[in-house]
Structure 1
Amino acid sequence: MDRWQRKAGIAGIETIMTFHNARMIGDPLSTWGNMTDNPVQDMAREVNRMCKPDFMLNVTLNREKEITAVFVGELFEAHNRGCAFAKEHAMLRCDERFDVVITSNSGYPLDQNLYQAVKGMSAAHKIVKEGGTIICAAECRDGLPNHGNYAEILQMRKTPQEILDMINDPSFKIFDQWQVQKQAVIQVWADVYVYSSLPDEDVEKAMFKYTHNIGQTLAQLKERYGEEMTVAILPLGPLTIPYVEE
């Protein structure tokens, strides 16, 4: 029983808040596909060395969400093999950033609410130009959602930059702040439109712009960026990892 309790403690509230604090989430090395000097990865490995699991099983998926490979065995060795496979099959280097990136949250159930859809926006953030535009298509049948602290935190300040300043204050600690932090970083960098089933007012409360027709929005953006506007499409959203070497 003692051994089980120690292992269950890996997912305790205090541990979750530490893994997701503003410094950890805001570190530029805490990002998609990076295993080198990533503070979140480093902490995860440190925790698991202290209370090492006996066995690990991870899988990778394709666009149909079918299992493409299975990685089992000793924790670090199996995880390293899985990361290498994902890098080869799910990561794509882009030569430069794009004016506009259209993304999704890979469909149901991942796009169940706006909180989750931030993950698709985060993937797009990796390759959109500063001052560019992200268009995220996500159904969000579960709303913002109404549970959790996501919607409440968004209402605490009036702009994304003010949200970031609030969360970066060491005295600020609220469950779910990490997703709001990620969202605010994206919104400070680029405009974000949301195509969803959400009421327009809910989209605006989250400080996004709404669109009911992606084609029309692209036509309007062409007036802003010009005829040479560059566009990238991420149909699988966070299940792909585009990146630009900078």
Structure 2
Amino acid sequence: MKVTLSYGKQGLTVDVPDTAVVVEPRHLAGLPDEKAAVVNALRHPIGCPPLCEMVKPTDRVAIVISDITRPTPNHKLVPWLLEELSHVPLEQFVIINGTGTHRDQTRDEFIQMLGEWVVDNVRIINNNCHDKSTQAKVGSSRFGCDVYLNKEYVEADFRIVTGFIEPHFFAGFSGGPKGIMPGIAGIETILAFHNARMIGDPAATWGNMEGNPVQEMSREVNRMCKPDFMLNVTLNGNKQITGVFAGELFAAHAAGCEFVKEHVMIRCDHRFDVVITSNSGYPLDQNLYQAVKGMSAAHQIVRRGGTIICAAECSDGLPNHGNYAKILQMRKTPQEILEMINDPSFQMFDQWQVQKQAVIQTWADVYVYSELSDADIERAMLKPTRDIGQTLRELQAKYGDAMSVAVLPLGPLTIPYVAE
């Protein structure tokens, strides 16, 4: 049978065995009037007064957004926020792009993310985690580091964080506190947040918020300089808004996480020999670094010694910025990579993504279908495939005629699990 995977902007249709199990979230239609739903949420928020009543005309307002690797529809949310706060002059707003350790966005990318009117009329900055002069210390974390956040955010009179809630492979769920930590944090704080002990904790996994050290540190940092208001949404596979969660940070985020968990955490009866996954298409599959999330979703249901096939376009390369590719070249096998990262003396930003990838690779083989060259895929210790159907036929010789196959067309927008 044919299945279409979310891949780039166009999708990718693949032939899979008729016996394959397709694992998708329970489909939710997009809201019939997205703007009306968002405005209603701003005026009837969870756990706090209406937004317009909280912001004074004299306030300097910071709006934190997620960067271009996330599908948050800020080209809708930010203009609607500005309309709701029309009593505040535009020159008193600053939009802070929560890049974490990712690269800066260009003007053209900001236009894509926010619309040309916003780019032309509101000041926008990229968070620079490496430039301490742009950060302010707001406290010290019990997880062993000083906490630095973007100075313009800290010094604002009113702080708003936007975002998109989905299951996250080590924070439990995205959105909410993660918009601030690590979105607009300094590198010292981000490195502690993503250290090997935190990322390797069994509780740091998909859909889990309780006892999860990554989520606990994110919440702790947020309490040190808390956003005054959160606006998060949930999306379906077509990137349409399915739910709006606005108000007090922790209460509104908890409501959004429960909503997501109900629709995208899918139980499977057993593990599979082969799991085919995507990385949810553009913008999430822009590079191989991000595609580790799709691999991790498949890891939840592939058997030990099985195979994962990940389709991710990777229009932005490995990427060619950051340390992801560099760390992968520092040892010869995934097991050696894990041993290096778990050494307390080792610390490099981007190690967390390599750590997650290496854990997956010590469990199963991983093939990648993408626009990357075979050499680039092999440099990342992964196996290239140019024809997923052909690769499946070759794997059948390995696993036998009864080879079991699962397909995650939407990648990490669906989180399967096996009760074991």
Question: Shared topology, TM-score over 0.5?
Answer: yes
Supply the distance in 2 between the matched residues of 1:89 and 1:60 (Cα, whole angstroms).
11
Residue 97 of structure 1 and its aligned partner are, at CA, apart by 1.1
The alignment partner of 1:157 has SS state of coil
After the TM superposition, which segments of 4 or more aligned residues of structure 1 sit over 6 Å from their partners? none
1:75 is the counterpart of 2:249:
yes
1:56-135 → structure 2 map (5 Å cutoff): 56-135=230-309
Amino acid in structure 1 at the alignment position of 2:225: C
Residue 116 of structure 1 and its aligned partner are, at CA, apart by 1.1
Amino acid in structure 1 at the alignment position of 2:279: N
Amino acid in structure 2 at the alignment position of 1:17: L
Residue number in structure 1 paired with 2:370 = 196
Residue number in structure 1 paired with 2:402 = 228
1:50-61 → structure 2 map (5 Å cutoff): 50-61=224-235
Supply the distance in 2 between the matched residues of 1:110 and 1:41 (Cα, whole angstroms).
21
Residue 53 of structure 1 and its aligned partner are, at CA, apart by 2.0
1:243 is the counterpart of 2:407:
no
Residue number in structure 2 paired with 1:207 = 381
Residue number in structure 2 paired with 1:8 = 150
The alignment partner of 1:42 has SS state of helix
Amino acid in structure 1 at the alignment position of 2:202: P
Supply the distance in 1 between the matched residues of 2:209 and 2:236 (Cα, whole angstroms).
22
Encode CA deviations 1:176-231: one digit per residue, 9 max, x unaligned: 11111111011011000011111111111111111111111111111111121111
Supply the distance in 2 between the matched residues of 1:189 and 1:204 (Cα, whole angstroms).
18
1:169-188 → structure 2 map (5 Å cutoff): 169-188=343-362
Residue 50 of structure 1 and its aligned partner are, at CA, apart by 2.9
Larger RCO, structures 1/2 (Cα 8 Å, 6+ apart): 1
Supply the distance in 2 between the matched residues of 1:51 and 1:152 (Cα, whole angstroms).
34
Supply the distance in 1 between the matched residues of 2:375 and 2:337 (Cα, whole angstroms).
19
The alignment partner of 2:412 has SS state of helix
Residue 61 of structure 1 and its aligned partner are, at CA, apart by 0.5
Q: Unpaired runs of 5+ in structure 2? A: 1-58, 63-135, 139-148, 152-180
1:37 is the counterpart of 2:179:
no
Bigger radius of gyration among the two:
2
1:157 to 318, 324, 331: 331
Amino acid in structure 2 at the alignment position of 1:87: K
Supply the distance in 1 between the matched residues of 2:253 and 2:315 (Cα, whole angstroms).
33
TM-score (norm 2): 0.56
TM-score (norm 1): 0.95
Residue 12 of structure 1 and its aligned partner are, at CA, apart by 1.6
Aligned-CA RMSD value: 1.7
Amino acid in structure 2 at the alignment position of 1:49: R
Amino acid in structure 2 at the alignment position of 1:190: A
The alignment partner of 1:45 has SS state of helix
Identical-pair percentage: 77
Supply the distance in 2 between the matched residues of 1:89 and 1:95 (Cα, whole angstroms).
18
The alignment partner of 1:71 has SS state of strand
Q: Unpaired runs of 5+ in structure 1? A: none
Supply the distance in 1 between the matched residues of 2:417 and 2:281 (Cα, whole angstroms).
22
Residue number in structure 1 paired with 2:393 = 219
Supply the distance in 1 between the matched residues of 2:324 and 2:288 (Cα, whole angstroms).
9
Supply the distance in 1 between the matched residues of 2:359 and 2:367 (Cα, whole angstroms).
15
The alignment partner of 2:366 has SS state of strand
The alignment partner of 1:189 has SS state of coil
Supply the distance in 2 between the matched residues of 1:245 and 1:79 (Cα, whole angstroms).
26
Q: Please, which moves more after superposition, 5-14 or 33-42? A: 5-14
Amino acid in structure 1 at the alignment position of 2:355: Q
